[in-house]
Amino acid sequence: MSTCLLSMTGFGRGMAETGARRFVVEMRSLNGRGSEVKIRGREGDIPAGVETEIVRAVRAQVARGTVSVTIREEGIEAPAAIIDLAVVRQAHGVLETLRRELGLAQPVDLATVAAFLAGPGARHVHRDEITWDGLRPAVEQALREVQATRAREGAALSTDLRQRLDRLCELAAKIEKAASGLPTRAARKLEERLAAVAMSSTVLDPGRLAQEVAILAEKLDVSEELVRLRTHLHHLGELLAGNAPEAAGRKIDFLVQEVGREVNTIGSKVQDAPITALVVESKAELEKLREQAQNIE
């Protein structure tokens, strides 16, 4: 099944009303090796069960990366809070007792009680509890926007990565073409060197020369490395085309490493200036591809 590549970076925002309260959910996804969901909100305001559902919803959509979920309440008006009169009376009684013990003449008014309850006592003011059913629309809306952002960035990354991969394929073809004539060039150089150092009376043994040429050709043979390199580049092309049933980021990371290993091996085996130049250019292009691939889910 063909799917588009997704970037690991994105942003989304959603809003939901639960009871008399209105909540805004903001999500930011960033690069990460694993899957991590961080939830931020007012301490004690979000029940553990709701946090569990948020994590489950995010991980169902985001396979890799770090997602920060911020939940905040906004637009609170006076009717949004249902005052527990028993708590208010109790607070007033406590403050009145304290006033008399301190010998204060001014009676405790509602403003003083409200100020008292606005501190630690605020937890006694009842508000509609946050539920998953109430918060779900905001979470799902934020997730949709995150996924849309990740898909747009993923499409742009895919285009850039495809161009770099095409360049790597071109360089691999040039290396293969140059390597095909390498044994002949090496044999010619060996003959020239032997002829230069040989005494005029010394006759070169054709059999020994052929043996040395064969050994040298075997050392310079990079046909196996080139076959593996072509295979890895082909698989990379399939992944960048979105031909993967799941998040492709880890597979792309692995294949980039394998391509780098084959290129390095070719460079170390072949001491030939034209091929060395192609290897150096391949490494530079591969490093750019590696950096961009780090953003793919």
pTM of the model: 0.68
Higher pLDDT, 198 or 137: 137
What architecture is domain 10-77+129-149? Answer: 2-Layer Sandwich (3.30)
User: What CA–CA distance (Å, rounded) separates 249 from 243?
Assistant: 12
pLDDT in tens, 165-176: 999 999 999 999
Phi then psi dihedrals of residue 67, to 5 deg: -115, 120
Instruction: Give domain limits for the chain.
Output: 10-77+129-149, 83-124, 155-293
Whether 271 has a pLDDT exceeding 90, the answer reads no
For 71-95, the DSSP string reads: EEE----GGGSB--HHHHHHHHHHH
Percent of residues, the chain, with pLDDT higher than 90: 49
Q: What is the pLDDT of residue 121?
A: 46
More confident residue, 201 or 239: 239
Average pLDDT (62-88) is 76
Over residues 94-117, the pLDDT tens digits come to 888 988 888 888 889 988 888 877
Which amino acid would we find at residue 21? R
